[in-house]
Structures are given as C-alpha cells and as structure tokens.
Amino acid sequence: MRPVRLQIPAEAGFIDVVRICLTGVAAKRGFAYEDIEDMKVAVSEACSNAVLHGGREAGGEAIDITFEQTDEGLTVRIVNYGLSFDHAAALQEASPIKGESKGDLRVGGLGIYLMEALMDEVRMSSEEGKTEVVLTKYLGV
C-alpha cells in the first residue's frame, strides 16, 4: 500500500489537521475507535514536540507526516527540521507524573511517556537539522 503524506506548517494550530487525517487513514486500515483515539494522542504528542523543537524559532518551517499502512497495522512518521534534538535523553526521561505531594508534581517527559504507553513501537532519530519520530500500532494487539 502506498503511503499517505501530509505536510503542515510547523505551528500548533495545524496539529488538529494531523489528527483528522490520521483518523481517516486508521479507520481505512480497520482500527477500532479506541485504538484510533490512542493513536491521535500519540501522534499529537510527536507533533507538539515537532512544533516546540522544530518551529520557526528553531529554523523549521514545516512538519512532514507520513502514514504507512503495513500488513501489521499503521506506521506514522513525523519529521521536523531545525535544531537537532537529544532524543536518547528524551526517551530516558519519559515518565508519568512524578512527585509525592501536589506541591512538587512534575510533568517532564509526559509526552514521550504517553507515546510509549499508547503505541506498540516508538523510535526516534535525530541528525543535524532533522528529527524523526516513528510510531507504530499493530492491528488486533
């Protein structure tokens, strides 16, 4: 199956367009409603990071999203341009909300934690000027 490609400006106001496109592609691939909702959150998290780290201020203009339907399910690639990003450190910091009392709650690493919790595979790579996040969800897992 040939991939579906989408390019959005690297701005928060276009992340909803990615969710709409994802909903269409995932429904076409046969995913259940709950799985699509999970993927929407995970893909949005990746796009939020792409906007925050690869937006105008970081020298990025656009975010490229590729939806690849595979035999096993769906793989979504989110690529942003601009400053490189320490993905190894980010993956290590992935965590649910930390802190014992309300006063010292911390949310660092929550986005990547959610990607990992909601998808079957999360891969990240970063080279000079380009960061890629690859999210995969299997059908019927």
Binding site for other proteins (CB under 8 A): 11-13, 15-16, 19-20, 23, 27, 34, 37, 40-41, 44-45, 48, 51-52, 96-97, 101-103, 105, 107, 110-111, 113-114, 117
When the beta carbons of 2 and 102 are compared against other proteins, the nearer one is 102
When the beta carbons of 8 and 79 are compared against other proteins, the nearer one is 8
The DSSP bridge partners found for residue 6 are: 65
Task: In angstroms, give the least distance from the CB of 117 to other proteins.
Answer: 6
The burial class, CB within 10 Å (0-12 / 13-18 / 19+), for 2 is exposed
Identify the DSSP state of 30.
T
Task: In angstroms, give the least distance from the CB of 114 to other proteins.
Answer: 6
Residue with tokens 């890629």: 132
Task: In angstroms, give the least distance from the CB of 29 to other proteins.
Answer: 14
d(CA 86, CA 16): 26
When the beta carbons of 41 and 62 are compared against other proteins, the nearer one is 41
Contact yes or no for 26/74 (Cβ under 8 A): yes
d(CA 75, CA 121): 9
Of 8, 28, 29, give the one whose Cα is nearest residue 140: 29
Task: In angstroms, give the least distance from the CB of 43 to other proteins.
Answer: 10
When the beta carbons of 72 and 91 are compared against other proteins, the nearer one is 91
